[in-house]
Amino acid sequence: MRIYRFFPTGADMDALQQIRGRGPQAGISVTISELDLMKQIKNVLRLGVGNRFILLDGLGTKYEVEIQQFAKNQINCSLVSFRTEERRALPEIEIALGLIKSDRFEWCLEKLTELGVDLITPVLTQHCVVKHAEKSKEKMRRWESIVRESAEQCERMTTPRIVTPVSFSEYIYRPGSGGTSSGDTQDLKFICAERKQAESLLKRLGGEEMSTRGGVDIKHMDSISLMIGPEGGFSEHELNAAETQGWKPVSLGPRILRAETAAIAALSQVASILDMQ
Ligand code: SAM
């Protein structure tokens, strides 16, 4: 029987991370009090007393718990076992994606999560069809629940972070963002440029890029940022500005891909190399 996995939210996640902090012990009680998760467990999945499920603290530890009792405002469980998976020291992978139409953007969030993205930055560029990015809490909550459910489904130990939309110039000039890294980190930054006769991303990842760095394998980078334009592509000004900030233009091949396809294609290339043992 499949054992369901959940990244709890709110007070449930706080409680789980407190258990982590105190050092988990089998047999301690774990309660679920967030309404959405309670509904999912009780009404959607119809789990009952004695059934088990897994909670993930997003920091690399998973906790198997068994339902003991359905109380009025909470589900009382006991901790059966827990296991921490050491996260391989890999670069943080960021996708900075021009804000595209909502349904396609949300579909892309799910796919990028499955492919292992760590950070998703929606970027408002000159040619965005979506002019005014809703920075509403509801929108963020919806995006966060999409990546959380996708991370649960693909059995990740962590959920990607997603930040509120940022303007292109703020993004590429803000210190520390994918745009301008601090001096003491090793960051690779690629801007996907379909009409620039640019070097292929794959070559950049495995070829010259590494040789000019004395063959430093991308696995040893601190971060790899990939920026993809919206439906209307990047403006010439944006491409030039990005290059001045150290972003290297790259090609994903001879065909003009939809933005969401390009994001998945670019991330797949990086993930394939990093996932190679
Ligand atoms: N409106 C643009 C045009 O027709 O030239 C197409 C933009 S495309 C739909 C959206 C984004 O996907 C581009 O800004 C680029 O970042 C990326 N992209 C699409 N195809 C690509 C390719 N073959 N190489 C590199 N990037 C590509």
CATH code, domain carrying 119: 3.40.1280.10
Where among 51, 84, 117 does a domain terminate? 84
Q: Is the pLDDT of residue 92 over 90?
A: yes
Is there a single domain that holds both residue 146 and residue 195?
yes
Task: Report how far residue 253's alpha carbon sits from residue 251's, in angstroms, rounded to the nearest whole number.
Answer: 5
Q: How many structural domains comprise the chain?
A: 2
Q: Flag whether pLDDT at 253 surpasses 50.
A: yes
Q: Report the atom number in ligand 1 closest to the C-alpha of 250.
A: 25
Query: Does residue 179 surpass a pLDDT of 70?
Result: no
Do the bridges between strand 187-192 and strand 223-228 make them parallel or antiparallel, or are there none, so unpaired? parallel
190 and 152 assigned to the same domain: yes
Last residue of a domain, one of 37, 56, 84: 84
225 and 201 within one domain: yes
Please indicate, yes or no, whether residues 49 and 115 belong to a single structural domain of this protein: no
Q: What is the reported pLDDT for 206?
A: 79
Same domain, 147 and 270: yes
Nearest CA residue ID for atom 3, ligand 1: 233
User: How far is 98 from 109, CA to CA, in rounded Å?
Assistant: 13
Q: What are phi and psi of 245, to 5 degrees?
A: -95, 15
Mutate to test the pocket of ligand 1, among 101, 172, 227, 257 (most ligand atoms within 8 A of CB): 257
- Between the CA of 19 and the centroid of ligand 1 the distance, in Å, is 46
108 lines ligand 1 (CB under 6 A): no
How far apart (Å, rounded) are the C-alpha atoms in residues 203 and 269? 10
Residue 63: which CATH number?
Answer: 2.40.240.20
pLDDT at residue 135 is higher than 90: no
**Ligand 1 in contact with 237 (CB < 6 A)?**
no
Question: Do 102 and 203 fall into the same domain?
Answer: yes
Task: State whether 159 and 34 are in the same domain.
Answer: no
CA angle 262, 267, 271 (to 5 degrees): 155
| 102/159 same-domain check | yes
For 31-36, what is the mean pLDDT?
A: 96
Cβ of 123 below 6 Å from ligand 1: no
Give the number of the atom of ligand 1 that is nearest the alpha carbon of residue 258.
9
| Pair (143, 266) in one structural domain | yes
Chain mean pLDDT for the chain: 90
Q: Is the CB of residue 262 below 6 angstroms from any atom belonging to ligand 1?
A: yes
In this structure, are residues 113 and 80 in contact, taking their beta carbons and an 8 Å threshold? Answer: no
Domain region containing 58 = 5-84
CB atoms within 10 A of CB 176: 9
240 plus 113 within the same structural domain: yes
- Cα–Cα dist 121/137, whole Å: 16
List Cβ neighbours of 239 (8 Å cut-off, separation of 6 or more): 191, 193, 196, 249
The pLDDT confidence band at residue 180, using thresholds 50, 70 and 90, is very low
Ligand 1 atom at minimal distance to the Cα of residue 195: 5
Domain check: are 213 and 259 in the same one?
yes
Does residue 12 have a pLDDT over 90?
A: yes
Give the residue from 84, 104, 131 where a domain finishes.
84
CA terminus-to-terminus distance, the chain = 30
Same structural domain, 130 and 56: no
